[in-house]
Structure 1
């Protein structure tokens, strides 16, 4: 009787999660995949084919935009890691318990508002008549306003600001489990700060590094609002191509194919990263 009750409890516990995976992830992806295989041959006449994928291959602007999105996302991931690792190490190993909560709260502040509000906040700072440009004029460093918007640098800054929390959280979770005696042993054996970082801290934190990089890269590659608003017409982000296929051209089959290609591309990059780092996805998720 108790075994049956325990089994029922486990089923009820995992049922919402299983339904969430099935209804919001598995079925929509299967639907998008099926839609991408519909090739339009006449008005309201479709047949199975790979014409939508062939259109992507034969049009250089599409795969150039995808490659550019991937390279920019890797750069954002690298910058988030470089900036987030010292912050995570300070929170996990140096800050006190009270300070740790306050620092986490400060990291959570950007998530209190939507992506749209955060993007418009950067617009107020970076536009030609914005806070930074007016401050430079007031200090006499420039005679006229400077436009900091509508370029790759503005897009990168906005994306790093948006995703850096998702780099810090897994790093803090991993580094928090590292005992101080490991670091002290490294110094006692004659290692300097760089050696201890390279031989002890980074290898121990590798599951958190990989987990944070995966989340940040996937979020950045799939971002839409920030690249469009901060990059303007100069932005070349693949999600904009997907939007144009769905909304501007009413080509749902082509948009679905582009969505599948973006998923396959980002999944391939993640797989290559796991192979190069020597980590597995299961161990990474378990440790972080």
Structure 2
């Protein structure tokens, strides 16, 4: 075996686990779900192929409302995660010392050490009527009765931002870390103030990280299930709950598969639209980071 064949074999063996992961856990399940979504039940255990499941979605306004509500809430969470995460990422990348960066990243990683379920129950313990926040407000005399802070959109947004903000910080740090400090100094030397330097130099340079972070956060938020259900209760109206209801409650796997593909198509369209409006490309954002 010559050196070229050895390199080729090494490359194949290196990418084989990744290729199998893509094939077995992504491609094949999506093919199965696609076939399932195109099956229409016309009788007991009698199916035929068609677009009836997608038509059922199109004819039901409540499904459209839940889907667009999920999309709008996910965009809000993405925007808040960007607003909260950008200063943190900038401090880690440009201000913090080399030794303290690892510790700061560790602090950001701590919420991921526990599952979504535990994090959601943590918020419930804090915000429920007999929780820490309500009890503290009563003890300080700021309220006259226990305050229930759960089961509303604000709580859901807070919980989701807390869950996904790390996925906004990491690509931003990766992008800002490659920025030469001389660019910032030049902006100040040319008479720019802090806002001008941020708007004209830092943000344009960090745009690939901003877009990639927004894509990851938006997709994770739109596909979230536990946090909206536990913190929003019956008022959550998240589209993943609708998909779960089709699969588990109604045992209508055909409609559940169709709704899952519709959520994927909707979020992919939002991502494509965001890339077009920002003038970025997927290869120049996610692949770069």
Q: Which range, TM-score by smaller chain?
A: over 0.9
Give SS of 2:251's match. coil
Distance 1:46 1:109 in 2: 48
How do 1:159-174 and structure 2 match up within 5 A?
Answer: 159-174=160-175
**Hey, what does 2:34 align to over in structure 1?**
33
Report the CA distance between 1:285 and its aligned residue. 2.0
Give SS of 1:208's match. helix
How do 1:90-129 and structure 2 match up within 5 A?
Answer: 90-129=91-130
Distance 1:10 1:86 in 2: 40
Give SS of 1:146's match. coil
Cα shift readout 1:53-98 (whole Å, capped 9, x = no counterpart): 0110111111110000000000000000000000000000000112
Cα shift readout 1:258-283 (whole Å, capped 9, x = no counterpart): 00000000000000000011100011
Report the CA distance between 1:156 and its aligned residue. 0.2
Report the CA distance between 1:286 and its aligned residue. 3.0
**Hey, what does 2:218 align to over in structure 1?**
217
Cα shift readout 1:103-131 (whole Å, capped 9, x = no counterpart): 10000000000000000000000000000
Q: Which runs of 5+ in 1 are unaligned?
A: none
Distance 1:178 1:161 in 2: 27
Give SS of 2:273's match. helix
Cα shift readout 1:110-161 (whole Å, capped 9, x = no counterpart): 0000000000000000000000000000000011100000000000000000
How do 1:39-58 and structure 2 match up within 5 A?
Answer: 39-58=40-59
Report the CA distance between 1:30 and its aligned residue. 1.2
Give SS of 1:40's match. strand
Report the CA distance between 1:51 and its aligned residue. 0.7
Give SS of 1:162's match. helix
Give SS of 2:40's match. strand
Report the CA distance between 1:204 and its aligned residue. 0.4
**Hey, what does 1:79 align to over in structure 2?**
80
Distance 1:281 1:234 in 2: 35
Report the CA distance between 1:99 and its aligned residue. 1.4
Report the CA distance between 1:190 and its aligned residue. 1.0
Cα shift readout 1:4-46 (whole Å, capped 9, x = no counterpart): 0000000000111111111111111111111000000001000
**Hey, what does 1:200 align to over in structure 2?**
201
**Hey, what does 1:280 align to over in structure 2?**
281
Distance 2:286 2:232 in 1: 33
Give SS of 2:287's match. helix
Distance 1:101 1:2 in 2: 39
Distance 1:148 1:56 in 2: 33
**Hey, what does 1:249 align to over in structure 2?**
250
TM-score for the superposition, normalised by structure 2: 0.99
Give SS of 1:287's match. coil
Report the CA distance between 1:257 and its aligned residue. 0.3
- 1:70 is aligned to 2:54: no
Q: 4+ runs of 1 displaced by more than 2 Å?
A: none
Give SS of 1:46's match. strand
